[in-house]
Amino acid sequence: MSDLLSKAPQPTATRVEGFLGDRELQWGKHKKIKVGKVFRNFHCKPCDDQRTFESGDELYCLGLDKHAVSIDATLRCTACQSSVAAWFLIASKDEISGFAPEVRIERYTENLRDRAERIGKDPGQFADLIKRAQVAYDAELGAGATVYLRWILESITYHVANIAGIPTTGKNNGRVPFRDLLERVNEERRIIPQRFSSNGYKLFGELSEIIHGNSTEEEALKKFEPCLQLVLGIVEEVNRDNVFAKAIDELGWGSANIDEIAGDAS
């Protein structure tokens, strides 16, 4: 179980040793469990460096029903002892109190208490927007998270246009349609990864559909991760990573030869 929690939010189901003593944990009842320490890596603000944060030997478990529990953990920086909090919703198709249940993480959230920051590929000046998008997603605000992704896409397009001297206004000082601007910018300064270069504006349209309420929150949350990967790809100008082919496939954009696309870019 400790390995599963340490890898959150990985959704893959994993078989673990029984941790409830083969007895159902009733709704609303708490229980201390020993499943090994949880380890998470963060950028520790007091240390101003990447550090491993670890939990204690015991975690707190709250019963929800026969198939789900929540687990709370506090983790401390192994260097300066600054602490953060983490929460996991754990579920199982079978009874979770079994001898060796197959469990998955249905939801993971954390409160870093301004003591730490997530470690990732946040792209420089857009790091704050990525963080805000992730926070909104963790709070299950699909449309709200998507707003930040479209903001990043628009911002970097206009930013590159200004650097390249590409006009962003047309007649009567009106804005150039974003589709035209994106195509022009990409022609002169490739900002869209090769693997989905023909779908650059389609990504913008996908984000806009969600923001304008043409998708349910459930759909918006489902599309967040692949959209995030594609937006990060534009920001980072990364065009040799299979994650983009997978993201295109997850969005259902009709890419029939994902493996071939991935192979061409390797």
Which residues have C-beta within 8 Å of that of residue 138, sequence separation ≥ 6?
108, 109
Residue 244 in this model has a pLDDT that exceeds 80: no
CA distance 37 to 58: 8
Spatial distance between the Cα atoms of 41 and 1, rounded to a whole number of angstroms: 17
> What is the share, in percent, of the chain residues with pLDDT greater than 90?
17
Query: How many Cα atoms are found within 13 Å in the side-chain-facing hemisphere of 119?
Result: 12
Contact predicate 257/146, CB 8 Å? no
Task: Evaluate the CA torsion angle 28, 30, 36, 37 in order and state its sign.
Answer: positive
68-72, 139-143, 166-170, 230-234: least confident range? 230-234
Q: How far apart are CA 192 and CA 7, in angstroms?
A: 30
Question: Do you know the residue count of the chain?
Answer: 266
152: pLDDT confidence band, cut at 50, 70 and 90?
confident
| AA letter at 204 | F
Q: What is the pLDDT of residues 60-105, one digit of tens each?
A: 999 999 999 999 999 999 999 999 999 999 999 888 988 889 998 8
- What percentage of residues in the chain have a pLDDT greater than 70? 84
**Average pLDDT estimate for 132-159:** 86
Mean pLDDT of 163-176: 83
What are the CA-CA distances from residue 125 to residues 40, 172, 191 (Å)? 25, 31, 16
Residue 227 burial (CB < 10 Å; 0-12/13-18/19+)? buried
The pTM for the full model equals 0.55
Closest by Cα among 63, 4, 83 to 37: 4
